[in-house]
Amino acid sequence: MATARDEGGNGDFAIRPAVPADTALILSLIRGLAEYERLLDLCVVTGEALEKWIFRAGLAEAILGEAGGVPVGFALFYPTFSTFLGKPGLYVEDLFIKPGARGKGYGRQMLRHLARLAVERGCGRLEWACLDWNRPGIAFYTSLGAEPLDAWTTYRLDGGALEGLANGAPSPAGKRPD
């Protein structure tokens, strides 16, 4: 993935793939996102985990947005597959622009870059989630033509529930077994 220069009128903006030396920077941007989303208490990721899963295992990719050579944002994404489309997709786990750099078109440029990657890779879709209280984010995404999937509810197993299911433990009290 090559570095992309801004084509949206912000000539000082560039997007480049993250490399292992960017691990501490990515970690700080993830913490900035967690703080914005009011979830900093749940953010336990380490630089070692990022290096292991992104750079060594290759399970995800990250891009950095830089204005005048200064990092202002990042996106972390990974491949998915749609059985209905019969095509791969890209899922954007995180997209974050530092508060002082918002409103300059950088987020749009980063999503445009990801859309180009998706098209180049033969993907049928580019997807992400947005917290329902994040009105600025929702307005931004819909301005791009993105549509919310209101009929879908995201489910999550983590921690003890994930381990319990993996190990065949009985369902938690009050939950209906299958």
Catalytic sites, residue numbers: 141
- List the structure tokens of 81: 């597959």
User: Residue 125 contacts by C-beta under 8 Å, 6 or more apart in sequence?
Assistant: 82, 85, 87, 89, 90, 118
| Percentage helix, strand, coil for the chain under 3-state DSSP, each rounded to 5 | 35, 25, 40
Q: Of 130, 126, 25, which is closest to residue 74 (Cα–Cα)?
A: 25
> What is the Cβ-side half-sphere exposure of residue 11, based on CA atoms within 13 angstroms?
0
Which secondary-structure segment (H or E) carries 25?
helix 23-36
Please tell me the distance from the alpha carbon of residue 146 to that of residue 126, in angstroms, as a whole number. 9
Structure tokens given for 39: 């979830």
